[in-house]
């Protein structure tokens, strides 16, 4: 990263040097096309003016724009720039201080009129050079535009990085909340199994360890393969079935052909976990229907379960920590590309969710 920044800075410096070299060559080449012997004092003046233009450019981009213009001190900025331009133009005007110091008016007249006597000049005449004013305005304008655009791009990039860091941190926090929530419920189930059948509980512990391996190692990236997520759900359903009786009917339907795609890990589990938490009974008939469909880049999960009144005194809890966090994850990861429909039909004593995601 440091090496990359150093290379980028070096390239920027080289580009600036090349631009000023080209500008300087154009600035000095024009007098060479004149059919006169240009005195060296003329090039000294142009060299001084070019140096002042370069100083003005970097003073504007490095100090004036960040310290004044970008901090909304427009009046101070334009006053300083105006004073700067006036000073440079005053120095550069024909027969001004630089010209008189270099004795340039007489030398140039002698060069242009080498076959006749040079004209007399007024010593203190200030002839405003519109070309110098245009060059200064153009140079400062370009510098201001570049600096402003760079600052805008930097702020935008910084904002995006901060937003991305915030989203990554929030996603990690949300996933960390979902996982303990799932394992807490599962361990409760296994504890209940140990009181009934030790062999079955050992099998359940083995399944849970396999699922924990998936959660701890395979879901650390931002995405996982759909096939892995489906296998995890199968293990979860199988684990839940160990404590259920024949009164509970469970259907799990998958498409005949499953196209493996990358999805966010642990995204479907809270909906399925919610169905087992609130939709089954150890004594009464109940059901859970889970269906995964895939059409093109559209992936959908449908979960329908019965509502057990003894477990639904607070059906708002059906949204629970897991479902609330899953909604938040969907907003962060698939904003504008998902539809979540939840239907609580108390008359038919059913609760259903339908999640459809467009995977880009």
Ordered per-residue pLDDT tens for the chain, 360 residues: 556 666 667 777 787 787 777 777 766 665 555 556 666 677 777 777 778 888 888 888 888 888 888 888 888 888 888 887 777 777 766 556 666 676 666 666 665 565 454 444 443 334 445 666 777 777 778 888 888 888 888 778 777 766 666 666 665 655 655 556 667 767 887 887 787 778 888 888 888 888 888 877 777 777 888 998 898 899 888 888 877 788 889 999 998 888 888 888 888 888 988 888 888 877 788 999 999 999 888 999 999 999 876 554 444 444 455 677 788 888 888 888 999 998 887 667 889 999 999 987
- Are 151 and 205 part of one and the same domain? no
What size, in residues, is the chain?
360
3-class DSSP state for residue 102? helix
Element at 342 (helix H, strand E):
strand 338-345
- Are 208 and 119 part of one and the same domain? no
- Are 152 and 192 part of one and the same domain? no
Q: What distance in Å separates the CA atoms of residue 166 and residue 276, rounded to the nearest whole number?
A: 33
Strands 298-306 and 286-295: antiparallel
Q: What distance in Å separates the CA atoms of residue 106 and residue 108, rounded to the nearest whole number?
A: 6
DSSP 242-259: TT--TTEEEEEE--SSPP
- Are 52 and 142 part of one and the same domain? yes
Is the CB of residue 85 less than 8 Å from the CB of residue 137? Answer: yes
Closest of 30, 152, 42 to residue 92, by C-alpha: 42
Single residue among 160, 189, 215 that ends a domain in this structure: 160
Is the CB of residue 353 less than 8 Å from the CB of residue 341? Answer: yes
- Are 318 and 341 part of one and the same domain? yes
CA dihedral over 110, 116, 118, 119, signed as positive or negative: negative
- Are 129 and 276 part of one and the same domain? no
Q: What distance in Å separates the CA atoms of residue 144 and residue 62, rounded to the nearest whole number?
A: 10
CATH number where 339 lies: 3.30.565.10
- Are 137 and 40 part of one and the same domain? yes
Is the CB of residue 271 less than 8 Å from the CB of residue 301? Answer: yes
Is the CB of residue 269 less than 8 Å from the CB of residue 179? Answer: no
- Contacting residues for 241 by C-beta, under 8 A, at least 6 apart: 250
Strand partners, 339: 356
- Are 104 and 156 part of one and the same domain? yes
Total domain count for the chain? 2
- Are 69 and 192 part of one and the same domain? no
Single residue among 112, 132, 160 that ends a domain in this structure: 160
The pLDDT assigned to 202 comes to 82
- Are 205 and 351 part of one and the same domain? yes
Single residue among 95, 130, 160 that ends a domain in this structure: 160
Q: Token pair of 255, please?
A: 């498409």
CA dihedral over 345, 348, 349, 355, signed as positive or negative: negative
82: containing domain: 2-160
Q: Token pair of 152, please?
A: 């805008």
Q: What is the DSSP letter of 219?
A: S
Residue 150 region by backbone torsions, left for phi larger than 0, else alpha for psi between -120 and 50, else beta:
alpha
- Are 169 and 44 part of one and the same domain? no
Measured at the CA of 25, the angle between CA 22 and CA 26, to 5 degrees, comes to 85
- Are 308 and 354 part of one and the same domain? yes
């Amino acid at each position: 990263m440091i090496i990359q920044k150093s290379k980028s800075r070096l390239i920027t410096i080289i580009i600036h040097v090349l631009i000023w070299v080209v500008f300087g060559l154009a600035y000095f080449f024009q007098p060479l096309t004149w059919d006169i012997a240009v005195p060296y004092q003329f090039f000294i003046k142009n060299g001084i003016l070019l140096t002042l233009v370069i100083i003005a450019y970097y003073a504007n981009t490095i100090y004036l724009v960040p310290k004044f213009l970008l901090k909304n001190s427009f009046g101070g900025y334009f006053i300083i720039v105006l004073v700067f331009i006036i000073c440079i133009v005053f120095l550069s005007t024909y027969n001004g201080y630089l010209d008189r110091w270099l004795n340039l008016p007489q030398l140039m007249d002698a060069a242009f009129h080498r076959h006749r006597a040079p004209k007399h000049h007024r010593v203190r005449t200030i002839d405003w050079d519109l070309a110098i004013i245009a060059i200064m305005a153009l140079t400062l304008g370009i510098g201001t535009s570049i600096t402003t655009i760079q600052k805008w791009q930097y702020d935008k990039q910084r904002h995006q990085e901060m937003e991305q860091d915030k989203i990554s941190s929030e996603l990690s926090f949300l996933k960390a909340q979902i996982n303990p929530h799932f394992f807490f419920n599962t361990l409760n189930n296994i504890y209940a199994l140990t009181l009934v059948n030790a062999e079955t509980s050992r099998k359940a512990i083995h399944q849970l360890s396999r699922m924990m391996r998936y959660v701890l190692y395979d879901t650390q990236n931002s995405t996982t393969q759909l096939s892995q997520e489906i296998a995890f759900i199968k293990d979860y359903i199988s684990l839940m079935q160990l404590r259920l009786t024949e009164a509970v009917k469970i259907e799990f339907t998958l498409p005949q052909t499953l196209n493996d795609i990358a999805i966010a890990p642990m995204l479907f589990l809270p909906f399925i976990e919610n169905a087992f938490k609130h939709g089954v009974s150890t004594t009464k008939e109940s059901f859970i229907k889970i269906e995964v469909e895939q059409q093109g880049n559209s992936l959908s999960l449908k979960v329908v379960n019965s509502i057990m009144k003894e477990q639904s005194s607070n059906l708002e809890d059906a949204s629970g920590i897991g479902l609330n966090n899953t909604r938040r994850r969907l907003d962060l990861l698939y904003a504008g590309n998902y539809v979540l429909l939840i239907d609580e039909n108390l008359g038919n004593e059913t609760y259903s969710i339908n999640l459809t995601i467009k995977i880009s």
